[in-house]
Chains A and B, each alone.
Chain A
Amino acid sequence: QQKVQQSPESLTVSEGAMASLNCTFSDGTSDNFRWYRQHSGKGLEMLVSIFSDGEKEEGRFTAHLNRASLHVSLHIREPQPSDSAVYLCAVSLDTNAYKVIFGKGTHLHVLP
């Protein structure tokens, strides 16, 4: 059973400083990774998908994947107060990509 853990649980950064979030997973055969964001009281929105080792950029959001290290990270460039939200790492097996396992999230607070 795939296990997904995120760190830190909470992160506070100043507006404009880089924010880095981490996610580790237990099953290295997974090859379908996504980062979602959830503002308070809202549903989840997908930020970036990554399927192979390396880097994937979507606007100010960059994901880094290293499957050998069982690690995927999200870096947010020039974060703004509106980026304050819970960020969730999602992992699924390509063959069963419908069944997505989520981490418990990192609460990001961006101070103006």
Chain B
Amino acid sequence: NAGVIQTPRHKVTGKGQEATLWCEPISGHSAVFWYRQTIVQGLEFLTYFRNQAPIDDSGMPKERFSAQMPNQSHSTLKIQSTQPQDSAVYLCASSPGLGPLYFGAGTRLSVL
């Protein structure tokens, strides 16, 4: 079991460019989560899927952020027109249900 896999580990984009982050959850886990981590705000909930269906995206900045889960083996977080304030570590986690979250190592996004 390789755990939750996130790619890329680091991504550098210019202001205004698009960034797509990938997550492969643990096989058999029904829930997938995206969090954003910064020193100032800590870990912020972004969005959550259960059995591939979007359940709660209340933490997502509405205009430029979107997340999808086209199949049970991967989820993507897309940020359009990236801004310097989007710089953060984006963490994906999966869970078998109401149990603990299993986190990936994260993608560090740097917007120049």
Contact = CB atoms under 8 A, between A and B. Distances in A.
Contact of B45 (A36, A44, A45, A101): A101
Contacts of A45: 103
A42 B105 contact: yes
A94 B97 CA distance: 12
Given A43-B106, A44-B103, A98 B33 contact: yes
Contacts of A105: 42
A88 interface: yes
Measured as residues with beta carbon below 8 angstroms from the partner, the interface class of chain A is 20 to 34
Interface in A54-99: 88, 90, 94, 97-99
Interface in B75-103: 91, 93, 95, 98, 100-103
Contact of B42 (A32, A49, A104): A104
B50 interface: yes
Nearest to A97: B98
A42 B4 CA distance: 12
Interface of A: 32, 34, 36, 41-46, 49, 88, 90, 94, 97-105
Interface of B: 3-4, 31, 33, 35, 41-43, 45, 48, 50, 55-56, 91, 93, 95, 98, 100-106
10 contacts: A32-B98, A44-B91, A46-B100, A88-B43, A90-B101, A98-B50, A100-B33, A101-B45, A104-B42, A105-B42
